[in-house]
Amino acid sequence: MAIPKVIGTETEYGISAVGAPDFNPVLSSSLLISTYAGALRRIRWDYEQESPLRDARGFEPVQVREPAEEDLGLANVILPNGARYYVDHAHPEYSTPECASPRQLVVHDKAGERVLERSLIELHHVLPPGQRIAIYKNNSDGKGNSYGTHENFLVDRGTPFGNIVRDLTPFLVSRQIYTGAGKLGAEAPWDDRDRHRYQLSQRADFFEAEVGLETTLKRPIINTRDEPHADPDKYRRLHVIIGDANMSEVATYLKLGTTAIVLKMIEDEYLPDLTMANPVAALHEVSRDLSCTAQLRLADGRRLKAVEIQWEYLERARKYVEQEDDTPDNRDVLQRWENVLSALESDPLSLQRELDWVAKYRLLESYRERDGLAWSDPKLRLIDLQYHDIRTDKGLYYRMAATGKVDRLVSDQEIEQAVMEPPDDTRAYFRGRCIARYPDAIAAASWDSMIFDTGKEALQRIPMREPLRGTREHVAGLLDRAPDAASLVDLLQA
């Protein structure tokens, strides 16, 4: 039986500046985070047990320790909601706390946008006059550089990795039809038809391999990083790097919800073989096909549209959920999945309320018609970018949401609560509550441990290798009985 799918996302945000000729994105990102985090900056991230080069295919190269963020003076903090907020390369990155359902993930993903917006407000209070920083939840700078939105899923270590590669690849290639964030232009080798062409996905252009460990060069459809952040004998953390950064709550919900169900079916060997003849070429073809009618060749000679491949997964998922995993959450994912596929089959451009790529395309078309713009007009590139602005009073997505033009799944009240409160039903509850209650006694933290300085001779590490332990049900009573960190550690070790 498949294990529960604990999920999370890591979003690298685009950052740019106006009125700052010497703009440094690394230092600006660090200042952005530090200004927001305040005193929490003293709690360092614990890298001791991290192994980003360990490969799921069974090897690990010798690692020479590179300077960590704190060595370089860059910000890296853990927030009271259990999230990690830090500088990754030249970007501010927000990693949600571990979530136990796709809806909960939507709430915490949106909370990340609010954290970035508030960081921006705080930063503008200290910037020199005339300087402004802008933050975008997108995946490309338009100059050939892409930054990631990574998904993470807890999977069973006993599932052969080859099965994941075989059964997940066609799904990831074809799911772009509802997960794509939309993009004007191309940043892979193109001909003149692609230069100003609208496509479904911002990330597809940057993928060149089927399977591999890289995340910044020769990006693969299936990433093989084997860094579980949990009990390595029981679990694998599947690191999915191919997804777009979604503004739409429905798109985010479907992206995580459908993938979680597919991974359960892979663990329970519930899927047919839909291996593609050339997955990388198919990935690019799907992204450039607004009609969603391109025929993709499978290894067995069949030709199927991306929508038809998704129907194959959905039909199996219906039977699987009914027989093996019948929950309200899963039933809701299936219903929304079916509704979107039906609309994509009949009229893809009818989904402007649900899907980012359609909403943005409709927006660009409205400006084109109003102002008589060609697709090559640079004004349209600015509109594309402004769709992803995280400021609720400036971003075009948020303007559409404010006027009821896009569908919402979660409330503003839930999002506000998630800015400070961790999920109740994963280990993020313990991490977040400890950060809030005992910040001065926490020396370091990571996804799977907390390190306390209780005044004893040695620091006290509390392991958290089970993502579904450390919940409110498990530890709220202990926390209530512990006025300080020393008392908590004593209770945990009793």
Is 66's pLDDT higher than 60?
no
Q: Is the pLDDT of residue 5 over 60?
A: yes
Amino acid at 85: Y
pLDDT digits (tens, 9 = 90+) for 124-157: 998 888 889 999 999 998 888 899 999 999 999 9
- What's the average model confidence in pLDDT over 466-478? 97
Return all residues near 110 (Cβ < 8 A) that are at least 6 apart.
Answer: 249, 410, 415, 418
Q: CATH number of the domain at 264, please.
A: 3.30.590
Instruction: Report pLDDT for 118.
Output: 96
* pLDDT one-digit tens code per residue, 362-384: 999 999 999 999 999 999 999 99
Domain co-membership, 315 together with 288:
yes
Domain count, the chain: 2
SS3 breakdown of the chain: % helix, strand, coil, rounded to 5? 45, 20, 40
pLDDT over 80 (residue 51): no
Whether residue 316 is contained in a domain is answered as yes
Shared-domain flag, residues 104 and 223: yes
Lowest-confidence pick of 131-140, 146-155, 181-190, 267-276 = 181-190
Q: What is the mean pLDDT of residues 112-134?
A: 93
Q: What is the pLDDT of residue 70?
A: 46
Separation CA 255–CA 289 (nearest Å)? 19
Residue 229 pLDDT greater than 60, yes or no: yes
In a domain, 1, yes or no: no
Condensed to tens digits (0 to 9), the pLDDT of residues 12-28 reads 999 999 877 788 999 99
- Please tell me the predicted confidence (pLDDT) of residue 71: 44
Confidence of residue 192 (pLDDT cuts 50, 70, 90): low
Does position 61 have pLDDT exceeding 60, yes or no?
A: no
Residue 48 lies in a domain: yes
User: Per the residue annotation, which of 46, 88, 244, 289 is the catalytic one?
Assistant: 88
Has residue 185 been placed in a domain? yes
Same domain for 363 and 288, yes or no, is: yes
The backbone region for 130, taken as left when phi is positive above 0, alpha when psi lies in -120 to 50, beta otherwise, is left
Annotate 339-377 with b (16+ C-beta within 10 A) or e (fewer): ebbebbbeebeebbbbbbbbbbbbbbeeebeeeebeeeb
The whole domain housing 466 covers: 424-493
Confidence of residue 294 (pLDDT cuts 50, 70, 90): very high
Q: Are residues 134 and 281 in the same domain?
A: yes
Please compute the mean of the pLDDT values over residues 306-323 and round it to a whole number: 98
Q: How far apart are CA 391 and CA 13, in angstroms?
A: 13
pLDDT tens across 378-416, in order? Answer: 999 999 999 999 999 999 999 999 999 999 999 999 999
Lowest mean pLDDT among 51-65, 142-156, 312-326, 331-345: 51-65
Residue 10 bridge partners (DSSP): 95, 150
DSSP character string of 155-212: EETTS-HHHHHHHHHHHHHHTHHHH---EES--SS--HHHHT-EES-SSGGGEEEEEE
Domain termination residue (choose one: 397, 416, 435): 416
What is the pLDDT at residue 234? 97
Average pLDDT over residues 437-441: 94
314 with 436, same domain: the answer is no
User: 190: buried, middle or exposed (CB in 10 Å: 19+, 13-18, 0-12)?
Assistant: middle
Maximum distance among all Cα pairs of the chain, rounded to whole angstroms: 73
Q: Do 307 and 447 reside in the same domain of the chain? A: no
Boundary (domain end) residue, out of 416, 443, 477: 416
**pLDDT of 67 higher than 60:** no
Least-confidence region, from 68-77, 263-272, 310-319:
68-77
* pLDDT of amino acid 332: 98
CA angle in degrees (0–180, nearest 5) for 389-238-472:
80
Q: For residue 2, is it within any domain?
A: no
Query: What percentage of the chain has pLDDT greater than the value 70?
Result: 93
What does the chain come to in residues? 494
Question: Quick one: pLDDT at residue 104?
Answer: 98
In this structure, the number of other CB atoms found within 10 A of the CB of residue 228 comes to 25
- Can 88 be counted among the known catalytic residues? yes
- Listed residues 416, 432, 459: the one ending a domain: 416
Indicate if 402 and 466 belong to the same structural domain. Answer: no
Same domain for 374 and 242, yes or no, is: yes
Residues 367, 464 within the same domain: no
Are both 407 and 446 inside the same structural domain?
A: no
CA distance 78 to 70: 13
pLDDT at 144: 85
Instruction: Considering only residues 90 and 108, tell me which one the structure prediction assigns the higher pLDDT.
Output: 108
Q: Does the pLDDT of residue 216 top 80, yes or no?
A: no
Mean pLDDT of all residues in 286-301: 97
DSSP 81: T
pLDDT at residue 129, rounded to an integer: 86
